[in-house]
């Protein structure tokens, strides 16, 4: 258990109270005894146990959601299989291939999820990739809608071509496509489809990056969108820097920040930038706050932006190196404490109340000069107010949900992706498996504990961990919580 049971007294505090004395007759100070238990609870002078407030308690689990995930072949099968979209209840029961159940394969022409199927969080809309450009890597997408029985009706004659990235936000779908390229640097066209109105109408609203900053751009067309579809965030990367841009509905494009590996904007030098337009960004549920997890100079930081005050930036420090550049020196001996991490991966997310962020941290530092066969990963929580404060974080500022050990062992579950339930109580994530199909623990010498992935659930406070899937022939990927 994370909090030890109330077993023994660990400390006794003596509270001396000096009472008033009159003349030569003094009164000896009385001593009150305050008993503190192992879990931090206090026994007061009446004998009652007063529990301290747990800042990392999980909300009550209300359920009411289902889980989608991809299964990709892990080993050859007969007949050959490709990517498939699966669905199950929140407890792992009633696992079905949604590709079959929804009737996609029975359409004319039949559709599959070989290249990917993407579903809106309300289980209302679906986009199916039907082809991929060999030149740009963009996908051709057809759009469809689920009925109450989860059967899919595809919109005839509606195909989005050469799509690089797209996001559902309510009944809107945003997407980007390449427009003009100068060598490897491209400007992308952003468009929106009002799914609840006319899916044939694609409305352009932005070209990005601006032409005047296109030189040396490595931006690849990716973006984040707020739940209400009012804000988009783009990371305009170059070979030496990253600029953070905000597009606001009704306002347009605003630059929030500029980060350079060496120097500042207007005096930025060097090559070999580690920045990507897929670097981790989170947008708060009310769309006001943006958090960018990144590194620059000596620091690994969370950069907090206020969309109502674009000039306001808070910098919270996760780790630093004494000299040099963080990304190059983070793995040096003694730099990172046991509770710290090398970098943040995947898609961080706010809790529904906006008070915390949940993120995936990774440490892939070499051990004895060798890259680890299994990097250390953990799902971590931090209070948003802590990041807003601009402080340097200490161990007590971070809550480790998964508490994975290090090393090439089964207990070190390598987490690859996650999603958080709408009530903020349950995390669904994919990671290397711990259980055989018979329910026994996989041995450390079994390659499956490194090379396979399954779906898990765990409460936000780290309790009630369960492995929900167990398929030795396929890798589970892209877990998504949906509520219909």
Strand arrangement of the beta sheet that strand 42-43 belongs to: 9-17, 30-37, 42-43, 49-50
Cα separation, 73 vs 349, in Å, equals: 29
What is the DSSP-derived secondary structure letter of residue 217? B
pLDDT at 15: 38
pLDDT at 48: 75
> DSSP characters for 250-261?
TTEEEEEEEEES
Contact 174/165 with Cβ under 8 angstroms? no
Q: Which secondary-structure segment (H or E) carries 448?
A: helix 448-451
Cα separation, 163 vs 176, in Å, equals: 6
Contacts 24+ apart (CB under 8 A), 79-87: 81/473, 81/474, 82/112, 82/113, 82/114, 83/113, 83/114, 83/115, 83/116, 84/113, 84/474, 85/113, 85/117, 85/119, 87/150
pLDDT at 426: 99
- With CA atoms as reference, report the closest residue to 349 among 310, 391, 381: 381
Contact 302/348 with Cβ under 8 angstroms? no
Q: What is the pLDDT along the chain (484 residues), one digit of tens a residue?
A: 454 433 333 444 333 444 444 444 444 445 555 677 665 677 777 777 777 789 999 999 998 999 999 999 987 666 556 899 999 999 999 999 998 899 999 998 899 999 999 999 999 999 999 999 999 999 999 999 999 999 999 999 899 999 999 999 999 999 999 999 999 999 999 999 999 999 999 999 999 999 999 989 999 999 999 999 999 999 999 988 999 999 999 999 999 999 987 778 878 877 767 899 999 999 999 999 999 999 888 999 999 999 999 999 999 999 999 999 898 999 999 999 999 999 999 899 999 999 999 999 999 999 888 999 999 999 999 999 999 999 999 999 999 999 999 999 999 999 999 999 999 999 999 999 999 999 999 999 999 999 999 999 999 999 999 999 999 999 999 999 999 9
- With CA atoms as reference, report the closest residue to 355 among 287, 425, 285, 302: 285
pLDDT at 103: 95
Please report where in the chains the tokens 């995390």 appear, as a residue: 427
Cα separation, 302 vs 317, in Å, equals: 7
Query: Is 326 exposed, middle or buried, given 0-12, 13-18 or 19+ CB atoms closer than 10 A?
Result: buried
3-class DSSP state of 442: coil
Total number of residues shown for the chain: 484
Q: How far is CA 55 from CA 362, 428, 448, in A?
A: 24, 22, 37
Provide the 10 A C-beta neighbour count for residue 137: 12
């Amino acid at each position: 258990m994370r909090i030890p049971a109330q077993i023994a007294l660990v400390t006794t505090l003596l509270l001396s109270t000096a009472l008033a004395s009159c003349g030569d007759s003094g009164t000896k100070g009385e001593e009150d005894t305050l008993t503190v238990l192992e879990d931090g609870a206090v026994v007061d002078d009446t004998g009652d146990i007063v529990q301290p407030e747990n800042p990392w308690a999980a909300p009550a689990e209300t359920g009411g959601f289902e889980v989608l995930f991809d299964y990709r072949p892990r080993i050859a099968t007969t007949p050959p299989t490709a990517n498939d979209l699966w669905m199950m209840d929140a407890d792992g029961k009633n696992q079905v291939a949604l590709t079959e159940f929804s009737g996609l394969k029975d359409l004319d022409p039949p559709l599959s999820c070989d290249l990917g199927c993407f579903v809106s969080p309300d289980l209302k809309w679906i986009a199916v990739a039907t082809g991929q450009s060999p030149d740009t890597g963009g996908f051709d997408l057809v759009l469809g809608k689920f009925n109450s029985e989860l059967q899919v009706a595809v919109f005839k004659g509606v195909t989005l071509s050469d799509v690089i990235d797209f996001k559902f936000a309510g009944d809107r779908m945003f997407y980007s496509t390449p427009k003009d390229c100068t060598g490897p640097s491209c400007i992308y066209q952003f468009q929106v489809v009002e799914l609840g109105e006319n899916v044939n109408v694609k409305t352009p609203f932005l070209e990005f990056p601006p032409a005047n900053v296109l030189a040396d751009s490595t931006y690849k067309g990716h973006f984040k969108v707020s739940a209400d579809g009012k804000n988009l965030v783009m990371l305009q990367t170059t070979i030496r820097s990253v600029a953070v841009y905000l597009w606001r509905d009704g306002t347009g494009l605003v630059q929030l920040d500029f980060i350079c590996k060496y120097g500042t904007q207007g005096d930025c030098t060097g090559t070999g930038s580690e920045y990507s337009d897929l670097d981790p960004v989170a947008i708060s549920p009310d769309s006001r706050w943006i958090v960018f997890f990144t590194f620059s100079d000596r620091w690994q930081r969370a950069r907090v932006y206020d969309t109502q005050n674009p000039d306001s930036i808070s910098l919270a420090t996760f780790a630093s190196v004494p000299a040099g550049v963080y990304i190059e020196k983070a793995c040096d001996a003694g730099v990172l404490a046991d509770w710290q991490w090398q970098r943040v991966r995947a898609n961080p997310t706010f809790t529904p109340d906006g008070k915390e962020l949940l993120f995936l941290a990774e440490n892939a530092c070499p051990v004895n000069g060798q890259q680890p066969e299994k990097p250390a990963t953990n799902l971590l929580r931090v209070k948003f107010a802590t990041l807003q404060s601009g402080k340097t974080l200490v161990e007590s500022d971070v809550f480790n949900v998964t508490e994975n050990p290090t090393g090439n062992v089964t207990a070190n579950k390598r987490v690859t992706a996650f999603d958080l339930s709408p009530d903020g109580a349950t995390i669904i994530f994919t990671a290397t498996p711990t259980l055989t199909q018979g329910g026994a623990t996989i041995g450390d010498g079994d390659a499956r504990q490194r090379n396979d992935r399954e779906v898990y659930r765990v409460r936000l406070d780290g309790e009630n961990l369960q492995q929900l899937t167990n398929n030795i022939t396929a890798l589970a990927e892209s877990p998504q919580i949906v509520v219909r």
